[in-house]
Each structure stands twice: as structure tokens, then as C-alpha cells.
């Protein structure tokens, strides 16, 4: 089977786009990705697009067709992928499989969400659908409250503190100041986080990722086609997915996300690497506790030591395992359908030395971790340097 490479990327600035429509965001990211790849749109053979809740947010479904239409790519097949906040990661994985199988040679993969067209209450209700409606939402659980349960148990078992959670936010905001596409480009302090009001104790406002508009896109192709066209890129070594119970009540443990562990286990095995070989990672920090749990479940630190690792600076830009160099969902922003693609773009930028002020020193292997809901879906993808243009 062929290798798969990302040869072009494009994304909008993440934030509140009152002056841009859903369609305009799609077009901006897609056109940028095609231009960055240096190919014509006529070479694209298929489209995969991640989008979670466009029906609730803007009253529009049938997003696959809309993407093809807006980019002028008809009649190529275009498929929408939905897996809550992991929609972008699932879209990328399915496109990866389509090229790996030999079905297609060049595919456009995107992610999109326009979340600010509705009230905060309506947006929260839409996002809550990523959990279990019957056993959680119906009984009054909110999405932050589900992660608050995970946080409480983690604090009880391992002594993780609210201050350590706050340090995740501080770090990611600092990284975001170096990312021109990030929603929040300002430093914050631990005191800022600790004094913000509780949403669902122990999770505070500043522990939460924001409501965001934005789109991201990548062009991926087979190694043979990339060589034929003389394209630069990074290799998608593997992209693995796993599932867990939708409701927290059915989980074996509340201090880990088993879908993350299973997807990571498969990804490391297929890539022939170990967690220590990963130079940096973009992980799904929808809440600060989610980053702490992710860096444990991905094998970067022992279970229960994620908070301490953050406090010790091990996950900072200059740390032993830089996490969320882009600013993460917390500060870069979280337009849910686009997040998985934006993570892949950060891997692309870091591995090609295009990350600007947040550029790491000669990274060779990167990892992305995209979660749906409270962990019922997990996609873990591994990337490495490929080669430059001929």
C-alpha cells in the first residue's frame, strides 16, 4: 500500500466571524489549501469534510455537497463525517484510508463549524448532544459537568489540583500568542484562571475551550502522486480510531479514556514507535483536565502524573514533551468540526519548520489526538517528516 502525505494546508483565523458565513469559511480554507499545495482543483478526486452540528448551529445539513459546491469541485464525491468533536479527525482518517487503499490519489479534507449564530445556551445544548442524551442530558448533565466528574475523580485518586489545571490554560494561552490564527492571543495568569467563575466545580470558565467559528483544510495524496508532481509534504504514518461507551456511567474508570489508550496503542504499533519517540503532540484539551488525562493515556507520562508534569514545565514549548504548541482548543479555539484538521495543520507546520515563533527545534515525529464527546470516540494520528520539493 502507498504512503500518504499532506501536501498543502489552509485555515481561517479561529474566532467569532460575524462578518463571514459558513460558506465563506469553507471557501477560504479550501482555496488556501489548494493554493498551498500548488495544484489545480481539477486534480482533486474526492472530498471528506468534518462537521458536527451545522443543523443546530445554522440550519444547514448536506454539508458534503455544500463543500464541493462552494469550492467549485463538482462532480467529485464529497462526504460529510460526523463524530462530535472528533469529526475532523474522522474525516482525515477516512481520507487516509481511501488513499491507502488505492481508491484515490488526491483528496481534499476539511473541517468546519460556525457556532456563534446561536445563543450560548443553544450552542451548549448542541454540544451536549456529544454525550448520552438519555442517561446524561435528560437528567440535567451539561458537557462541562461531565468533565467535572472526570476531574473530581482524577483529583481524588491522584491529588491533581485546580492550580495544575490552571497551568494547562496558562501554557496554551502563551503558545497561542505565537499563533496568528488563534482565537485568543493574550497571556493569562494562574490567578486569572483561579478567579474565573465555576461552570461545574472544579471546572471554571478559564478551564474551558471557547465557542468558535472557523474552518481548516488539507490536501493529501499518495506518495507516488506527490513524487510525480514534485510536491513537498509530511507523511501521515497512520491514523487510528477507537470507541468507548457514550455514557460515563458505563465506563470502567473515570480517570482515563479507554478509546484514547486503544487508538494510541494501535497507532504506536503500526508506526513502529513508542510514546517517547513522539517529539510533540496536539491533544484534545476541550477542558484543561482533558489535556492532563490525554498526556497520561497517550503514554507520555504515567497515570496520575499529568498534572505534575504540567506544573514542572515538561509540556511547555521548551519542555521534554511539548503539548499543544498551537495553543490547543483552549486558546487556538475549538470550532468542533474543524479541530481535528487544525491539529494536523500544526503537525505539518512544525515538521516543515513553518511554525514561526512557536517552532520547535528539528522535530521529526508529531502526534494528534482528537476526541468526540467525553471520550466515546478517539482518533490518534502520527506524522513524520517526508521530504521537500524536487
Of the residues 17, 51, 81, 85, only one is catalytic, namely 85
Determine the pLDDT at residue 136: 86
Determine the pLDDT at residue 237: 97
Determine the pLDDT at residue 137: 82
Determine whether 334 is an active site residue.
yes
- The CATH class for the domain spanning 4-119+211-235 reads alpha beta
Q: Categorize the per-residue pLDDT at 387 as very low, low, confident or very high, splitting at 50, 70 and 90.
A: low
Structural fold of domain 132-209+238-384: Peroxisomal Thiolase; Chain A, domain 1 (3.40.47)
Determine the pLDDT at residue 125: 85
Find the mean pLDDT for residues 53-67: 96
Of the residues 17, 104, 334, 369, only one is catalytic, namely 334
Determine the pLDDT at residue 269: 98
- The rounded percent of the chain whose pLDDT value lies above 70 is 99
Q: Taking all residues of the chain, what is their mean pLDDT, rounded to a whole number?
A: 96
pLDDT tens-place string over residues 96-134? 999 999 999 999 999 999 999 999 889 888 888 888 888
Q: Categorize the per-residue pLDDT at 386 as very low, low, confident or very high, splitting at 50, 70 and 90.
A: confident
pLDDT tens-place string over residues 18-50? 999 999 999 999 999 999 999 999 999 999 999
Q: Categorize the per-residue pLDDT at 390 as very low, low, confident or very high, splitting at 50, 70 and 90.
A: very low
Residues of the chain with CATH 3.40.47.10: 4-119+211-235, 132-209+238-384
Residue 240 pLDDT more than 70? yes
pLDDT tens-place string over residues 195-226? 999 999 999 999 999 999 999 999 999 999 99
Residue labelled with grid coordinates 457556532: 115
Residue 388 pLDDT more than 50? no
For 134, residues 6+ apart whose C-beta sits below 8 A from its C-beta are none
Find the mean pLDDT for residues 166-173: 98
Determine whether 51 is an active site residue.
no
Determine the pLDDT at residue 242: 98
Residue 343 pLDDT more than 80? yes
Amino acid at each position: 500500500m502507498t504512503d500518504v502525505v499532506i501536501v498543502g494546508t489552509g485555515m481561517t483565523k479561529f474566532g467569532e466571524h460575524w462578518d463571514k458565513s459558513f460558506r465563506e469559511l469553507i471557501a477560504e480554507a479550501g482555496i488556501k489549501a489548494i493554493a498551498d499545495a500548488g495544484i489545480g482543483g481539477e486534480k482533486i478526486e474526492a472530498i471528506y469534510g468534518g462537521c458536527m452540528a451545522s443543523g443546530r448551529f445554522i440550519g444547514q445539513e448536506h454539508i458534503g455537497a455544500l463543500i464541493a459546491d462552494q469550492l467549485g469541485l463538482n462532480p467529485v464525491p464529497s462526504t460529510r463525517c460526523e463524530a462530535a468533536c472528533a469529526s475532523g479527525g474522522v474525516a482525515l482518517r477516512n481520507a487516509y484510508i481511501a488513499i491507502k487503499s488505492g481508491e484515490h490519489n488526491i483528496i481534499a479534507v476539511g473541517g468546519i463549524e460556525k457556532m456563534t449564530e446561536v445563543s450560548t445556551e443553544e450552542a451548549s445544548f448542541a454540544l451536549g448532544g456529544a454525550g448520552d442524551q438519555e442517561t446524561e442530558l435528560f437528567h440535567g448533565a451539561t458537557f462541562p459537568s461531565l468533565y467535572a466528574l472526570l476531574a473530581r475523580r482524577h483529583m481524588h485518586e491522584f491529588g491533581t489540583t485546580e492550580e495544575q489545571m490552571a497551568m494547562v490554560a496558562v501554557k496554551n494561552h502563551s503558545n497561542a500568542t505565537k499563533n496568528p490564527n488563534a482565537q485568543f492571543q493574550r497571556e493569562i495568569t494562574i490567578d486569572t484562571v483561579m478567579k474565573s467563575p465555576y461552570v461545574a466545580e472544579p471546572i471554571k470558565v478559564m478551564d474551558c475551550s471557547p465557542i468558535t467559528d472557523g474552518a481548516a483544510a488539507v490536501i493529501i495524496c499518495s506518495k507516488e502522486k506527490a513524487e510525480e508532481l514534485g510536491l513537498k509534504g509530511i507523511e501521515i504514518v497512520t491514523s487510528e480510531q477507537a470507541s468507548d461507551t457514550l455514557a460515563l456511567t458505563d465506563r470502567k474508570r473515570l480517570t482515563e479514556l479507554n478509546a484514547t489508550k486503544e487508538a494510541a496503542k494501535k497507532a504506536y504499533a503500526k508506526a513502529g514507535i513508542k510514546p517517547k519517540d513522539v517529539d510533540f503532540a496536539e491533544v484534545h484539551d476541550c477542558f484543561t483536565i482533558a489535556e492532563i488525562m490525554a498526556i497520561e493515556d497517550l503514554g507520555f507520562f504515567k497515570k496520575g502524573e499529568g498534572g505534575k508534569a504540567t506544573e514542572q514545565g515538561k509540556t511547555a514549548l521548551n519542555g521534554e514533551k511539548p503539548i499543544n504548541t498551537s495553543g490547543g482548543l483552549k486558546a487556538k479555539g475549538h470550532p468542533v468540526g474543524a479541530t481535528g484538521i487544525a491539529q494536523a495543520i500544526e503537525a505539518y507546520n512544525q515538521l516543515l519548520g513553518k511554525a514561526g515563533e512557536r517552532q520547535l527545534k528539528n522535530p521529526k515525529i508529531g502526534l494528534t489526538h482528537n476526541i468526540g464527546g467525553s471520550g466515546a470516540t478517539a482518533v490518534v494520528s502520527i506524522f513524520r517528516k517526508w521530504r521537500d520539493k524536487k
